[in-house]
Structure 1
Amino acid sequence: MSDTSLLSSLLNLITTATCNLQSELKGAGLPEPWIDNASLHPWDEETPSKKYWDARRTLISALGMMTAVVQNPREKIICDDLGYHHSAALNFIVNTHMADVLAAPNVDERIGLPVSEIARRTGTHPAKTERVLRFLCMYHTFQETSPGVFANNKVSECLKKGHPTAELPLMWADVGFRSATAFSATLRDPQTAHSMRIEDAPFGAVFGNHTSKSTSESESIPKSEPGTASPVRATIFEFLSRPESEVYRSAFAKTMVTLDIMNGALGYHDLPWDRWDKEGAVFVEAGASTGHLSNDVLSVVKHAKFINQDLPEVCLQGEKFFAENNAEAIRSGRVKFQPNDFFTEQPVKGAAIYILSNILHDWPDNEALKILKHIGDAMIPTSRLLVMEIVIVPSLSQSRSPPSAPVDQNPNDAPWPLPKDYGIVNRYPHHQSMEMINTFNGLDRTLDEYVALFQQSELELVEVHRIRKLVSIMEVKKKA
């Protein structure tokens, strides 16, 4: 047994990472983050420096592991099992617009409002609302400035109407939440447990034949059960295409934007775009949604033109997004939208770059191979495919004692004694991996699993680019 103290080692990581954060902030002339400010820190809005990014990753991971080490395990299981309250509370807050109420012009943002006034303005019960807000204060989502008086902070700012993040509870704390009630049963049911069909996702068991209303509008919960014979089980995409699903369709599109900007646009700037940005170059993104990625990259790409492809109704949303955010890109011809289904032939041949951003994880292998084949058929030897996905890394524990020498440690691994994948800092990637099963019956894949897909598609991996985002960029070329 090693004499090395686990707690002391974690404390050392926490102290060192905090000092590195402070040093980077000072060097950039930025203030330290403050939770109770009713505005985001500059590096919450934009991609931070590489040293800040690395220090923050280590700090969050070490704090998470320290909590797990010292917390009573029974208490941890009980609190984790009650985690559904968190989703329910966020859904309630968004549907009652409480963050907006606390940001009204006549409200002092430093003080907030008494819960009686919050309840009056939102038509809710004062005592129940107080419990919900206090519950969220525990997670630093709001602040209680004096007993029964609540105010926004930098977290709740993201729940105000119009902020893309405020759309997340409409999808995950509503559609995802209800789908999750069938998660365990669907994964155990003999009829669906081993299926990789998107129709057999937990989502399909709940929403398969349901003409849905938001839980804010209706208390009806669909009665379909996993494994029941259903002639047609709707997929998430069929559900979103229904006329009555407009609120969800809009929320889904904004959710994709939110996830992409979660760590700022500059993370994409870490890619060597100049390798491919030549006169006359064309970059094609299949399944581009509203084209936010091309908008982020335009500032570092001088020559290339972007073609954003998606379904016709999504292309219309994209054109609206650019009309409001970067109309010149459309007028100048730097960006255009092209309706196309990535399960059909790729109409743009020989592009310099093809992009699949958060697409393949939605689909099981057979469908993913079809998507890759259509792009591979359009590629020429100099073309590159950039696959932008969260790549799942095994959550390997470290040895019981630190490495004997630095050479013994993989530079991509977290420092001892953290899990090699940095543990809790990858909370969102693992949540997303669960949501892929829940909604799409899909899988976030490991690097080896992606390489196998590429090989079956007559493609090969060139390089994995690590950027200041949770996704990795796999650069792929056509096999010679």
Structure 2
Amino acid sequence: MSLLQNLVQDISSLGTKLYQRLGDDTGHLYEAKPWKTYDQELPDRESWQLSQKLIADCEELIALLTPTKVKLVTECVANNSTVGLGAAADLRIADKIIENGGEASLSHLARVCKTDEHKLGCVMHMLVQRHIFKEVTPDVFANNRHSYELRSETGATEMMLIETNEGYQAGLGWLPVMKDPKKMHEHDPAKGAFATALNVDMGVLPYLGTPEGASLLNNFTIGVPWLSGITVVATRTDLPWDMYGSTVCDVGAGPGGVMLEVHKKYPHLNIICQELEPMIPVLQDTFKDYDSDLNSGKIKLEVHDYFTPQTTVADVYWLRGVVRDYDDETSAQLLAQLVPALKKNPKAKVLVNELIVPTLITPQSQVEANVPAAKRLPPNQSGYPQACHMMQLSTMVLMGGKERTFGDIVKIGRAAGLRVSKFHQFRMFTGTIEFELDEEACRETGMEKSRL
């Protein structure tokens, strides 16, 4: 059968299975409220996997049915989706619709936003076509499930503004950096796309402390926790935190939000958060309501530089968004600093949590060419591949660093003396590679493989 026939049949089959799994929990798009199963919680693993396959097939079907010139033009001008979403976020359209009782005419929105009605109409009609907002009657708009998230109390608007303002500007520096012999191999944010496009000699984080970065700092403060909140449910749910042992060590804990959530779900675990000394007050603030656990040692805040040998013995070491900040050699050196502690407890695991850049290998033979995308999705990669691809490029454009595939991170682990024991695919756009001490290192400790 042709690819078109196979896709249509596969979508029908997958859709039926998903509908049967969800039962009465049917999704909605045009109601101004979250779909609890997908937006606030997580669908069960099988339903999520069916969803991923359906999305892959639908994206391939759209590409198949789109004429070449239309496809290329659509991708070429996709930046205007950013333009439109940025305008809607900045003008607080979602809030203004809510304030007007749930619906608002284009003329009303233009008046309260103090902007041109025709230009705003172009933005709104484009976003409605992309299923953000809905048009209930001609030129009368309301929130749908997705636009409702842009209301002021969520933090979503601030995150959108990071990407649609400074992120959009930084994108203009990506190609110049890729073509500059002095910068193309750099991962230092001070020499990356953001610094190039904004003509500054610093990365985003130092820029936040400048007068010019005040607005961006505000958006980071409000928007980044919203983005982190998207992944926190999967982080605490899709890892068997209580199966590794009694002690979890977060290496490079940042503000400590991940371990706080782990502690809430698994209060019996011992939690250790390691950071550089300037971050300790931030960690103390995160755990300010847990004085008894801090006093008893159930929660420990330790000063530690992850470029120095690890001396704290734990059952699992968690590194979130750490490896991506450095080149391959430096990342391997960083992970190798854990080996001294792993030799003291060879059963311990190392969890590297990152955006695992997805791949989709194109079939080579004529027979395989008609196999639907859902049947070609590699298991060892992040979920929501399209979003993950956009985010991995966005983080490198804004923050520098180096995003990697599963294979890339495995190579770094091997160079550090670690071997892969498992991959945990989160029901989100991040994933976690589980490492352990490799066999040679285990033999050095006198431990047999059977004891690992």
TM-score strictly above 0.5: yes
Residues 342 and 371 of structure 1 are in contact (CA less than 8 Å); yes or no, is this contact kept in structure 2?
A: no
Q: CA RMSD in A?
A: 3.1
- Which of the residues 345, 351, 362 maps onto 2:325? 362
Residue 72 of structure 1: aligned partner: 67
Q: Which whole-Å CA distance do the structure 2 matches of 1:191 and 1:402 have between them?
A: 42
| Paired amino acid for 1:72 | P
Quick check: 1:85 aligned with 2:80? yes
Q: Which residue of 2 aligns with 1:455?
A: 414
1:6 aligns with 2:3: yes
Q: Percent identity?
A: 19
Q: CA distance change for structure 1 residues 237 and 318 in 2, over 3 Å: closer, same or farther?
A: same
| 1:253 and 1:289 in contact (8 A); partners too | no
Find the counterpart in structure 1 of residue 335 from structure 2. Answer: 372
Q: Residue 153 and residue 287 in structure 1: after superposition, are their counterparts in 2 closer, same or farther (change >3 A)?
A: farther
Q: Provide the C-alpha distance between the structure 1 equivalents of 2:359 and 2:28, rounded to a whole number of angstroms.
A: 33
Contact kept, 8 Å, 2:81 with 2:127, in 1: the verdict is yes
Mapping for residues 341-352 of structure 1, pairs under 5 Å: 342-345=305-308, 349-352=312-315
Q: What does 1:13-412 align with in structure 2 at a 5 Å threshold?
A: 13-26=10-23, 29-30=24-25, 32-43=26-37, 44-104=39-99, 107-109=100-102, 112-209=103-200, 233-242=201-210, 245-252=213-220, 254-262=222-230, 265-266=233-234, 268-278=236-246, 281=247, 283-310=248-275, 327=289, 329=290, 331-333=292-294, 338=301, 340=303, 342-345=305-308, 349-379=312-342, 380-381=344-345, 382-398=347-363, 399-401=365-367
Matched, 1:437 2:377: no
Shift of residue 53, structure 1, vs aligned partner: 0.1
Q: Which amino acid aligns with 1:360?
A: V
Query: Quick one: distance in 1 between partners of 2:129 and 2:298?
Result: 45
1:246 Cα offset (Å): 4.3
Q: Deviations over 1:191-244 (max 9, x none)?
A: 3223344332111212352xxxxxxxxxxxxxxxxxxxxxxx212232234465
Query: 1:22 and 1:356, CA in 2 relative to 1: closer, same or farther beyond 3 A?
Result: same
Cα 1:9/1:273, change in 2 over 3 Å: same
Instruction: Quote how far apart the aligned CAs of 1:41 are.
Output: 0.6
CA contact 2:231–2:430 (8 Å) conserved in 1: no
Does the 8 A contact of 2:57 with 2:374 survive in 1?
Answer: no
Tell me the SS of whatever aligns to 1:12. Answer: helix
Report the more deviating stretch, 41-50 or 344-353: 344-353
Contact 1:198–1:363 (8 Å) recurs in 2: no
Q: TM-score, normalised by structure 2?
A: 0.85
Measured in 2, the distance between the counterparts of 1:286 and 1:250 equals 27
Local SS of the residue matching 1:285: strand
Q: Following the alignment from structure 2 to structure 1, what is the Cα–Cα distance between the partners of residues 153 and 282?
A: 16
Residue type at the aligned position of 2:321: N
SS at match of 1:288: coil
Deviation for aligned residue 1:392 = 2.6
Alpha-carbon offset, residue 431 of structure 1: 1.2
Question: Which AA in structure 1 matches 2:432?
Answer: I
Q: State the distance in 2 between where 1:287 and 1:158 align.
A: 30
Structure 1 residue 356: deviation in Å?
1.0
Shift of 1:299: 4.5
TM-score, length basis structure 1: 0.80
Moved more, 334-343 or 348-357: 334-343
- Using the TM superposition, give the Cα deviation of residue 315 of structure 1 relative to its aligned residue in structure 2, in angstroms: 5.7
Instruction: Please tell me the residue identity of whatever aligns with 2:216.
Output: Y
Distance 1:159 1:321 in 2: 26
SS of 1:103's equivalent in the other structure is: helix
Q: Is 2:187–2:402's contact at 8 Å kept on the other side of the alignment?
A: no
In structure 1, distance between residues paired with 2:31 and 2:226:
21
User: Which segment drifts farther, 158-167 or 128-137?
Assistant: 158-167
1:13·1:58 contact (CA, 8 Å) conserved in 2? no
Instruction: Give the letter aligned to residue 252 of structure 1.
Output: F
Counterpart in 2 of 1:215?
none
More off after superposition, 160-169 vs 243-252: 243-252
Distance 1:370 1:402, change over 3 A: closer
> Any unmatched runs of 5+ in structure 1?
210-232
Partner Cα separation in structure 2 for residue 249 and residue 353 of structure 1: 33
The number of residues matched between the two structures is: 432
Contact in 2 for aligned 1:315/1:337 (Cα 8 Å): no
Give the 3 Å change call, closer, same or farther, for CA 150–454 of structure 1 in structure 2: same
